[in-house]
Amino acid sequence: MTGIKFVVREGALPGRLPVQELARACVGECALAAAELGAWRAGLTEVPAVRVDDGAVAAAFLSERHLLINGRAPVNFAPLSRFWRTADGWVRTHANYPHHRARLLAALDVPDDVTVVAAALAERTAVDVEEAVYAAGGLAVALRSPGEWAAHPQAVEVAKRPLVERGRLDAARARAFTPVGTSPLRPAAGLRVLDLTRVLAGPVATRTLALLGADVLRVDAPQLPELPDQHADTGFGKRSATLDLATGRRTFEELLGAADVVVTGYRPGALDRFGLSPEALAERRPGVVVAQLSAWGAYGPWAERRGFDSLVQAATGIAVLEGAAERPGALPAQALDHGTGYLLAAAVLRALTEQAREGGSRFVRLALARTALWLMKGAGGEEVGSPTPSQAVKCAPYGGPEPWLSETDSALGRLRYARSPVSFESGPVDWDRPPVPWGTEAARWG
């Protein structure tokens, strides 16, 4: 099996937990899966060499912070998205989206004022806030220690699952993928990916598939616009359309009928009423690969709860390990989001390879909370996949992201952005197209 050359740079993603090791492993797994699929589709006798540079990885894991739009830095967290003191500890809220902010304020029965919100939270316990805000459809999580989380029923369920869940849904025949060229080698060329994800981890995965040649069409509900800066960061290589699944069934079925991959990033069960469970999708599109992503996992008492990287860090004890119970901290990057995104892309690539060789509709499933457990256990390589020979070369310490940043003009303006860290011999080095404004293209394949 082809090995991976790791270029190690001290200080790339500094933290108390092995964030740099996790990031390196996730990108390496993705690049290797891409190289293997590319070699098979191109008829190569050897898998292209894979190279993972800590500098490129660190820049990419902070891509949302490095993005500039006409020289303007993005706003990554709204004023009400933060840690707050409670009567007995801390609570972490997420209110970047307007509808989540409205639900948070409604649950607390306060106006949109940071001082008033802080006073209201200081009078309540963290778990009381967590339950009240979730009951109102908002997002808030009590800060827990690693031990407290390990004893939580959701953590018990998460620990039972593998890092990457995968399976076969039926006995559909193997799909014949057309061969691909090698200049550059694009493993996903000609494949159609229906992107039903939001926020960060899912869009990172589909952004990576777009880099590798896939035709990625992101579809959002028209009533739930994506945050513009977030969309710009994760929209490279994709097209963007809106579609109401309740009224646009015929259009959606036409998209599904030609899709090779469907990626969903909404909370488990949220899309099932539209016939988007893996089993229902496979029945209507035999041979499809269905990839699912969630915050807490598709099981346990929190299965239907929404979540984000920052909330998972707070609930699982990562915020305590990176800070203290008296003053919670954070990872040097939203590594649960980014890492899970690259693992999801790798799982899709491997599922495509398996489908083409053995047939069967396939599904893969990941959860941020499971990635968090992996990080807290040391991010050992054995959970990523089969042991792979590798070579580590120590280079100069990380001196900043500049060598791995690029600029381009787009319909959004002049963009500075982080290039993808997924690298293998003869592979693509950048996306073919910059992001487009959210929801401005037709809901149809190109």
Residue of 337, 409, 430, 432 with catalytic role: 337
Q: How far apart are CA 102 and CA 78, in angstroms?
A: 13
Which tokens go with 65? 């912070």
375 — phi, psi (to 5°)? -60, -45
| Per-residue tokens: 78 | 């709204």
- Torsion-angle region of 360 (φ positive above 0: left; ψ -120 to 50: alpha; else: beta): left
Query: Is the bond preceding residue 428 a cis peptide, omega within 30 degrees?
Result: no
- The b-or-e profile of 176-202 (16+ CB within 10 A means b, else e) is ebeebebebbbbbbebbbbbbbbbbbb
Q: What tokens appear for 435 in the block?
A: 């992001």
Contact assessment for residue 288 and residue 260, using Cβ atoms and an 8 Å cutoff: yes
Facing residues of 416 across strands?
A: 68, 407
Instruction: List Cβ neighbours of 186 (8 Å cut-off, separation of 6 or more).
Output: 38, 180, 212, 213, 427, 428
337 is catalytic: yes
d(CA 311, CA 35): 34
Look at phi and psi of residue 224 and say left if phi exceeds 0, alpha if psi is from -120 to 50, else beta: beta
Going by their DSSP bridges, the two strands 215-220 and 192-196 should be labelled as: parallel
Q: Using alpha carbons, list the distances in angstroms from residue 309 to 131, 139, 291, 296.
A: 19, 12, 19, 10
Say if residues 432 and 237 touch (Cβ distance below 8 Å): yes
Those residues with Cβ within 8 angstroms of residue 191's Cβ, 6 or more apart along the chain or in another chain: 177, 209, 213, 214, 215, 260, 261, 352
- Count CA within 13 A, CB hemisphere, residue 211: 28
- Residue 152, both tokens: 């939580």
Name which of 190, 232, 196, 195 is nearest 215 in CA terms.
190
Residues tagged active-site: 337
